[in-house]
Amino acid sequence: MKKFDALLSTFLLLGISVTSYGQGLYDGFTPKKNTLSITTSFARSEYEKFYLGKTKQNAVPVHEKINQNIYSLYAKYGITDRFSAIVSIPFIDATNTSNQADPVNGLTSISELQDISLALKFNAHKFQFKKGDLNIITGITAVIPTGYEPNGILSIGNGGFGFDIKAGLHLNTNAGFFSTIFAGYNLRGNADNNLTPGGDFGVPNAFTTTGKIGYASSFIYVEAWADYYNSEEGVDIGTPSFKGNFPETDVDYKSVGVTVYKNIIPKLGIGVGYGKVIDGRNIGESSTYSVSLTYNVL
């Protein structure tokens, strides 16, 4: 497993005013002390069907179809054998196919840095068994927006500074099979309204869960995953309560995907991934394809 201490990081932008980092930022494996890995990735996300409230629409209002190119830099460092630090920086290029301006922010495309994430992950305890081990994993992430305009259908995030708290279990067998489950709470502050100064948005907090099953060996790493995101509050787009403030909407979704990672040489590996939103609320039904390179520096 030493070759797979640094795993593929897949960043999935999953529609309007919400980004899911649950699948990519955390895994159940803990890097060794003083090891550093850096991952660069490219993901292509697109959607033309959109959940207006809970009702699926066959086209995105005004935009018809939205395409997103997501370029990401991800680094993971083992502070100790049980405690690690993670940094992720995504740059997102979002465009539509209608060539019409977003009715809220007047844009037909956005190309900016998105939310920078700084995380600490801790393997709180390991239960050792004859045929494997069970790990208790905890983590906290600071989410720092970079000043993009959060309001609009085309926006690349909700713009709210926040903290994500996660805890989970990771079961790893001696044969290489593993399963992981995380539960978390995303706490968000207000988002700046760059269009109307003084009219900041209240971004809803959210509950999240992530599950994974897979196989990891010195030859290959394969996993299947599922994410669930549920806003604690918010309004539905198109209802009388909706005032055109997209960061304040009630966003829920279920998404599934797969990830495959293979070492090319001892210090360099390549990964590919696919993810899809299969159900949602006030979100695009996106499909995302990704590819990445991971270099084990130390």
Residues 262-292: tens digit of each pLDDT? 999 989 999 999 999 999 999 999 999 999 9
pLDDT band at 198 (very low <50, low <70, confident <90, very high): low
User: Tokens 């494997």 belong to which residue?
Assistant: 132
Distances from the Cα of 186 to the Cαs of 55, 114, 211, 265, 296, in angstroms? 25, 17, 17, 37, 30
Is the CB of residue 94 less than 8 Å from the CB of residue 156?
A: yes
Is the CB of residue 298 less than 8 Å from the CB of residue 35?
A: yes
Across 64-79, average pLDDT: 95
pLDDT of residue 132: 96
Give strand ranges (E) for 103-240.
109-113, 116-129, 132-144, 160-173, 177-191, 201-202, 206-216, 221-231
Per the prediction, the chain carries an average pLDDT of 89
C-alpha 221/C-alpha 215 separation (Å) is 6
Is the pLDDT at 170 greater than 50? The verdict is yes
C-alpha 205/C-alpha 233 separation (Å) is 7
* C-alpha atoms less than 13 angstroms from C-alpha of 216 in its C-beta half-sphere: 24
Is the pLDDT at 88 greater than 90? The verdict is yes
Across 220-236, average pLDDT: 95
Across 166-188, average pLDDT: 97
Structure tokens at 142: 């600071």
% of the chain residues with pLDDT over 90: 79
pLDDT band at 193 (very low <50, low <70, confident <90, very high): confident
C-alpha 67/C-alpha 58 separation (Å) is 15
C-alpha 234/C-alpha 203 separation (Å) is 8
- Residue 204: count of CB within 10 angstroms of its CB: 22
Contacts of 197 (CB under 8 A, 6+ apart): none
Q: Which of 12-21, 30-39, 139-148, 201-210 has the least mean pLDDT?
A: 12-21
Is the pLDDT at 16 greater than 70? The verdict is no
pLDDT band at 17 (very low <50, low <70, confident <90, very high): very low
Across 127-135, average pLDDT: 96
pLDDT band at 233 (very low <50, low <70, confident <90, very high): confident
pLDDT of residue 20: 38
Distances from the Cα of 222 to the Cαs of 118, 155, 171, 178, 280, in angstroms? 26, 32, 15, 10, 26
pLDDT band at 8 (very low <50, low <70, confident <90, very high): very low
pLDDT band at 89 (very low <50, low <70, confident <90, very high): very high
pLDDT band at 195 (very low <50, low <70, confident <90, very high): confident
pLDDT band at 24 (very low <50, low <70, confident <90, very high): low
pLDDT band at 109 (very low <50, low <70, confident <90, very high): very high
